[in-house]
């Protein structure tokens, strides 16, 4: 029997801090990722998430990585995309994730593969809202003894497929109405866009946690890659000017990216963001630096500190 909606372990701590990894394809990559996880584990993340190659190419790798991280005692959230999958396939994948120890899923549409043959008529679903509904009905049919925490994607600066920004918010609301528990945003560099998005969500009655996706720029090529992969993301002139001043010096550019992201996080925390999700690209250095800049004590209980008026008494 389902335990019913209870506060998810992902949000035990407010704000939540989480990291995203992708499944490495080589033994060297796996080794490097393990080192990253060991380093970042010291910061007691609320959870980590593991990406999923739309179409299922990385299905086994995602499951294996989820199992490995979950075994280290860190709540792990596999991503799942519905592009390229039938209902039967999705059921098998969900069962695999749950058997690997996952108690949460990030439900996504995914993007159709750019290369190779792709037949959309095979797909069970066209949008993530349908996948959320499917996950809820699957867990009901499975009579799981726990309720899966289901997250969905959000786009503070808009998703390129929907030009009508009012309709887009209705589509987001549909995902919550189907049973999603939280929203994790695409990376962004403009906090105003995020704050406005959060306000628009609240106006629509979307009251689930909204986690801010943060990715520090670490090089010119990473900037170009982000622009390509997160189409529609705005790169503020302030960031670009700072990068120009670095004149192509790699270390300076990385420092600028870390400083920029640190300032972004600091402001988000001041404005009581529900959580911050770091897109790590499987590397720990930049995220570690941001943590240091913010002076976050990973084991501090923010609610308790507030209640004790800690800052005023000491
Ligand atoms: C936090 C995060 C993690 C991600 N992880 C992965 C990953 O692991 N693997 C991967 O392949 N991709 C990943 N992506 C990318 C994501 O799959 C793509 O951005 C995709 O284009 C959108 O997915 P979605 O879940 O938001 O889809 P949807 O919510 O289905 O929305 C997709 C588009 O369709 C529109 N839409 C929704 N419902 C309707 C409707 N009923 N009628 C008409 N239009 C509609 C929306 O407005 C939007 O423009 C991630 C994105 C984010 C933000």
* 257-275 pLDDT tens trace: 999 999 999 999 999 999 9
DSSP 148-178: PEEEEEE-TT--TT---HHHHHHHHHHHHHT
How far apart CA 28 and CA 261 sit, in angstroms, is 28
User: From the CB of 51, is ligand 1 less than 6 Å away?
Assistant: yes
- How crowded is residue 36: how many other Cβ atoms within 10 Å of its Cβ? 20
Virtual torsion, Cα 266, 268, 269, 270, nearest 10 deg: 90
How far apart CA 87 and CA 101 sit, in angstroms, is 21
Quote the ligand 1 centre to 51 CA distance (angstroms).
13
Q: Give the ligand 1 atom nearest the CA of 184.
A: 1
Q: Is 285 helix (H, G, I), strand (E, B) or coil?
A: helix
In the predicted model, what is the mean pLDDT of residues 126-142?
98
CA 149 from centre of chain: 13
User: From the CB of 62, is ligand 1 less than 6 Å away?
Assistant: no
CA distances from 37 to 16, 65, 66, 167 (A): 17, 11, 12, 39
pTM score: 0.94
In the predicted model, what is the mean pLDDT of residues 279-297?
91
User: 47 - beta bridge partners?
Assistant: 18
Residue 18 has pLDDT above 80, yes or no: yes
User: Are the beta carbons of 294 and 259 closer than 8 angstroms?
Assistant: no
Which phi and psi (to 5°) does residue 45 adopt? -60, 150
Encode pLDDT of 300-309 as tens digits.
655 544 555 5
How far apart CA 263 and CA 265 sit, in angstroms, is 5
User: Are the beta carbons of 83 and 111 closer than 8 angstroms?
Assistant: yes
- Is 235 buried (19+), middle (13-18) or exposed (0-12) by CB count in 10 A? middle
Task: Looking at 42-153, list the stretches that DSSP marks H as alpha helix, in order from N- to C-terminal side.
Answer: 59-71, 87-99, 128-142
Q: Give the ligand 1 atom nearest the CA of 168.
A: 47
- For residue 92, the model assigns a pLDDT of 97
Quote the ligand 1 centre to 187 CA distance (angstroms).
13
Mean pLDDT of the chain: 90
Quote the ligand 1 centre to 128 CA distance (angstroms).
6
- For residue 310, the model assigns a pLDDT of 54
Helix and strand numbers (H, E) in the chain are 12, 8
- For residue 303, the model assigns a pLDDT of 56
- For residue 232, the model assigns a pLDDT of 87
Q: Which residue has the tokens 């593991």?
A: 50
Quote the ligand 1 centre to 52 CA distance (angstroms).
13
- For residue 55, the model assigns a pLDDT of 76
Q: Give the ligand 1 atom nearest the CA of 79.
A: 8
User: From the CB of 177, is ligand 1 less than 6 Å away?
Assistant: no
How far apart CA 245 and CA 95 sit, in angstroms, is 51
How far apart CA 169 and CA 165 sit, in angstroms, is 6
Which domains does the chain show, CATH number per domain?
Answer: 10-313 (3.20.20.220)
User: From the CB of 133, is ligand 1 less than 6 Å away?
Assistant: no
Residue 217 has pLDDT above 80, yes or no: yes
User: Of 23, 159, 170, which is best to mutate to test ligand 1, by the most ligand atoms within 8 angstroms of its C-beta?
Assistant: 159
Q: Which amino acid residue places its CA nearest to atom 18 of ligand 1?
A: 110
Quote the ligand 1 centre to 166 CA distance (angstroms).
16
Which residues are identified as catalytic?
20
User: Of 58, 109, 228, which is best to mutate to test ligand 1, by the most ligand atoms within 8 angstroms of its C-beta?
Assistant: 109
In the predicted model, what is the mean pLDDT of residues 205-222?
95
User: From the CB of 186, is ligand 1 less than 6 Å away?
Assistant: yes
Long-range contacts of 139-144 (CB under 8 A, 24+ apart): 139/2, 140/2, 142/95, 142/98, 143/1, 143/2, 144/2, 144/98
């Amino acid at each position: 029997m389902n335990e019913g909606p209870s506060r998810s372990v992902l949000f035990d701590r407010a704000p939540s801090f989480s990291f995203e990894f992708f499944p490495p394809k080589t033994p060297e990559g796996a080794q490097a990722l393990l080192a990253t996880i060991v380093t970042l584990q010291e910061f007691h993340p609320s959870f980590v998430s593991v990406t999923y190659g739309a179409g299922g190419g990385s299905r086994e790798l995602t499951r294996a990585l989820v199992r490995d991280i979950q075994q280290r005692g860190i709540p792990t959230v596999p991503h799942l995309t519905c592009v390229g999958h039938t209902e039967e396939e999705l059921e098998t994948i969900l069962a695999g994730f749950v058997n690997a120890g996952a108690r949460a899923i990030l439900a996504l549409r995914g993007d159709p593969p750019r290369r190779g043959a792709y037949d959309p008529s095979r797909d069970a679903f066209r949008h993530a809202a349908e996948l959320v509904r499917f996950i809820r009905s699957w867990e009901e049919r499975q009579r799981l003894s726990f309720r899966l925490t289901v997250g969905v994607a959000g786009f503070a600066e808009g998703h390129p497929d929907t030009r009508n920004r009012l309709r887009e918010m209705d589509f987001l609301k549909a995902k919550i109405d189907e049973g999603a528990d939280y929203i994790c945003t695409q990376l962004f560099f403009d906090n105003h866009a995020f704050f406005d998005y959060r306000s628009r969500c609240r106006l629509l009655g979307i009251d689930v946690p909204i986690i801010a996706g943060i990715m520090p720029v670490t090089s010119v090529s990473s900037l170009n890659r982000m622009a390509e992969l997160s189409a529609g993301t705005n790169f503020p002139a302030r960031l670009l000017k700072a990068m120009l001043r670095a004149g192509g010096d790699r270390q300076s550019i990385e420092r600028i990216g870390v400083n920029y992201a640190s300032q972004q996080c600091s402001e988000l925390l001041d404005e009581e963001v529900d959580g911050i999700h770091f897109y790590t690209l499987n590397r720990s250095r930049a995220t570690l630096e941001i943590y240091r800049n913010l002076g976050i004590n990973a084991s501090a209980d923010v609610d308790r500190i507030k209640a004790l008026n800690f800052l005023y008494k000491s």
